[in-house]
Structure 1
Amino acid sequence: MQHLEETAYRTWKADLLTQALDRAGIRADAVSALQQVPPYSRRRAVLAVRRSGEGVELGFRERFSHRIVALKECHVLSPGLFNLCRELKRHLLPFLQQKSVGDLFMSEMENGFDVVLSGTDLPDLQAREIFADTDVLPEIKRFSWSPSIGEPVEPVVQRAEPEVRFGETLVSPPPGAFLQPTAEGEALLCRAVLEGLPRETGPVLDLFSGCGTFTFPLSRSGPVRAVEGDLAACKALQNAANRRGLAGRITAEHRDLFRQPLRPEELDGFDVVVFDPPRSGAREQAAHLAASSVPRVIGVSCNPSTFARDAALLVEGGYRLASVVPVDQFLWSAHLEVVGVFVRA
């Protein structure tokens, strides 16, 4: 979508939300203007990597193809991440014994980079010794390997714990952990969530909390119970809270919210529930929220369609969509972040 004139692009992007709400029959009391992150700001990327006759191919997968498009320039990636791609390519050949395509997960953290190589053969001694040299890409704080996406991750080298800041708290996420794609987008989402809180806030429930993107900023207003299905992310959140002396203010619970959504009786007692599910949304959890007595629900989503679907369940259960904020942190793509504030009608 980089070919579109800016006004046309912004109109198209904002319409992704309004059209999704219209299809679901949802009316919002207030829809904010589209908020955007700047170019060259993406701090997280997944690239394809493969051994070839000329060395190493590294870049993005062409749509509906096995072809790898080399990175000659990119208006989305941060300069640090883009430069790392070019430098890392020079050191990956020993990790690629076969010509099958692997995945390279890269995240730019506060103190350096976290990298996970997936879908390749188990690294041999020659490969492991590359990053044993502290002069080789010292900006990489942790390099890990996994046989495939979703499989256990094995550290190859860790020079320091990669850290990311949520609110005022530094968190050390597990390898390949989910982060918001941009720090600027995360800040916009956090601001929208915090502005959606009532003037006086009691206990808050943070569902699909990850490593604490919203948990730690929310904890400034009151106690927060964070619930997350990824055990490693849940532990990282609790460990960071403990280090900051927030153990009495923040509690982290490991629970698969798709298999075991919190039921209405478990939601009682919370003044606000924040939920930020994956792109598929959280139909079952939204249905239980709709049947609860929680005064205010704040939904965060990267998919306007599933957001609207879940919003319809909340509205049917007696909530009113008081406000909604669209945030464009997936520049020139059909993805859009949404923050919606629902209050009991």
Structure 2
Amino acid sequence: MSTETVKITRLGTQGHGIAEGAQGPIYVPYALPGETVAIARNGGHGTLISITETSTDRVAPLCRHFDPDRDACGGCSLQHLADAPYRAFKRDLVIEALRSRGLTPEVGALIAAHPGERRRVVLSARKTEKDFLLGFNRAETHHIVSIEECPIASQGIMVRLGAIRAIGQVLATGSDTFRITVIETLSGLDLAADGLKPLSDKQRRAVTETVLSLKGIARVSVNGEVVIEPQKPLIDFGGVKVAPPPGAFTQATKPAEDAMAELVLAHAGKARRVLDLFAGSGTFALRLARIARVHAVESEEKPLKALEHAARNMQGLKPVTIEKRDLYRRPMMVQELKNYDAVVFDPPRAGAEAQMKELARSTVKTVAAVSCNPLTLARDLRILVDGGYRIKSVAPIDQFLWSPHVEAVALLEK
């Protein structure tokens, strides 16, 4: 490891400052373009030691845990970047990913995220000899930084951090690290712990007693099994209340979800039959059912059942049908797709390459693509464009504030 002074020229896709070294780029977390910094270099990675020339885009971070000189939480990587260049960085991630596939559609301004909006956080937890750690991993390590605040998380989560900690302490047995996914629902916090050994009867009683002594906890589950559920956790999808299964995927912020849904619904507004692929618990399907018949396809049974139950118990919706199907192994084929006026898809980070190849050959007129990964979105859109689709617009959406992750909604027509 050597110590040297370098000039930062640009930001990388992970939000790290990049200096041009003799053997290639050097990635320096917490450094910004235009800065001259002293680093401890190990190959292509530099650890920031000091800043001798500071960027005018550098701002003071809001959170006490964002401090590279101390025990920095790895939950955020860009709290030190001013708002305007931060938004440009997020938008450029989408533009450059599309450009790498030869696509140059109109990309709108970033739909911004704000502090206190995150209704879903995933915490790391571990019992030590002297303490119980609950927080986020330090960047690129398994070391847990125990948090006392988190400006991105909702107030409903933060005011119950002590309650989450108390439940976590009862769940912890050995010194192994486990995760607690926390979702703020309409009826209280939904806590889904995973990575734990099966609970003993004594632990179950202790968890039950602890939860009943606290306020604002709707459910606690371990490895997908409900331990206690004082209130049914409910999430509102456009006026339809859904009780998702333990650990089910939900969009991280409601404002981002609402923005995505508004774009999708406006695009599919004239459709009579809509196919919702990778439907989850009904984020889009249940909203779409107000204007069209919907067929929702998802690989996991429990979210589908939650979707179906919500649809059956809500008046004023068009018919909603469901299908359990692994779209990676068995995508919807061209002959099946001909029954639909519009297709909406929101796949995991891997995208939906196999499904896109079928969709590209179809006669479906309207497509809305929702993605959490600009690179796989660009690949999937390239397939559709090569199949005759035209990209009308792309909207970048931020819901992972101060991170290098960005969502996007692309609207297409044939």
| Structure 2 length-normalised TM | 0.79
Aligned partner of 1:174 in structure 2 is 245
- Give me the whole-angstrom Cα distance separating, in 1, the residues matched to 2:198 and 2:305: 27
Deviation at 1:53, TM superposition (A): 1.7
1:105 aligns with 2:181: yes
| Alignment check: 8 A CA contact 1:94 1:126 kept | no
1:192 counterpart (247, 257, 263):
263
1:272 aligns with 2:342: yes
One-letter amino acid of the counterpart of residue 137, structure 1: L
Aligned partner of 1:130 in structure 2 is 206
Runs of 4+ in 1 over 4 A off after TM superposition: 245-248
| Residues 163-203 of structure 1 deviation map (CA, whole Å, 9 limit, x = unaligned) | 101112111100010000001111111111112225x2210
Aligned partner of 1:52 in structure 2 is 128
- Give me the whole-angstrom Cα distance separating, in 2, the residues matched to 1:247 and 1:37: 31
Deviation at 1:262, TM superposition (A): 0.2
Aligned partner of 1:150 in structure 2 is none
- Segments of structure 2 that go 5 or more residues without pairing to the other structure are 1-77
Deviation at 1:219, TM superposition (A): 1.1
Deviation at 1:132, TM superposition (A): 2.7
Aligned partner of 1:40 in structure 2 is 116
| Residues 85-125 of structure 1 deviation map (CA, whole Å, 9 limit, x = unaligned) | 33221343332110011111111111111111111222223
Aligned partner of 1:68 in structure 2 is 144
Deviates more, 1:94-103 or 1:294-303: 94-103
| Alignment check: 8 A CA contact 2:293 2:319 kept | yes
Higher relative CO (Cα under 8 Å, sequence separation at least 6) belongs to 1
Aligned partner of 1:25 in structure 2 is 102
| Alignment check: 8 A CA contact 1:114 1:142 kept | yes
SS in 2 for 1:35: coil
- Give me the whole-angstrom Cα distance separating, in 2, the residues matched to 1:328 and 1:240: 28
Aligned-CA RMSD value: 1.5
- Give me the whole-angstrom Cα distance separating, in 2, the residues matched to 1:83 and 1:61: 21
One-letter amino acid of the counterpart of residue 377, structure 2: F
2:89 counterpart (2, 7, 12):
12
Aligned partner of 2:195 in structure 1 is 119
1:218 aligns with 2:295: no
1:77 counterpart (138, 153, 156):
153
The structure-2 alpha-carbon separation of the partners of 1:50 and 1:336, relative to structure 1 and needing over 3 Å to count, comes to same
| Alignment check: 8 A CA contact 1:46 1:106 kept | yes
- Give me the whole-angstrom Cα distance separating, in 2, the residues matched to 1:155 and 1:323: 42
Deviates more, 1:87-96 or 1:158-167: 87-96
| Residues 49-76 of structure 1 deviation map (CA, whole Å, 9 limit, x = unaligned) | 1111223111101222121011122121
Q: How many residues align?
A: 336
SS in 2 for 1:181: coil
One-letter amino acid of the counterpart of residue 197, structure 1: A
Aligned partner of 1:243 in structure 2 is 313
Aligned partner of 1:140 in structure 2 is 217
SS in 1 for 2:156: helix
